[in-house]
Amino acid sequence: MNEDSRSSKRLQILKERHKYLNREVDRMSAMKSLSPKEKILLREMKVMKLRCKDGIESISLEIDAFEIE
């Protein structure tokens, strides 16, 4: 497996994880009340979602750089 296909696979995994986290964040945010533990979980999921987005952007730039070369 070459570097480009590994990056593509990582990108796919991050996109799927971001999509899942987005759904879960939306679901929990729509709840009328959250327990303290749920509030912490929601905050952690939002952070994970942002990290996934950053990773997606980083890998996309990496793939674009390979295509230019």
> Residue 66: pLDDT above 90?
no
Tell me the C-alpha distance between 47 and 40, whole Å. Answer: 11
Whether 21 and 47 have beta carbons less than 8 Å apart is answered as no
pLDDT of 67 over the 90 cut: no
Put simply, whether the predicted model's pTM sits higher than 0.75 gets the answer yes
- What is the helix, strand, coil percentage profile of the chain, to 5? 85, 0, 15
Domain residue limits at 41: 3-68
> What's the pLDDT tens digit per position in 48-60?
999 999 999 999 9
Domain count, the chain: 1
pLDDT, tens digit (0-9, with 9 covering 90-100), for 2-52: 666 888 899 999 999 999 999 999 999 999 999 999 999 999 999 999 999
Residues 4, 60 contacting (CB under 8 angstroms): no
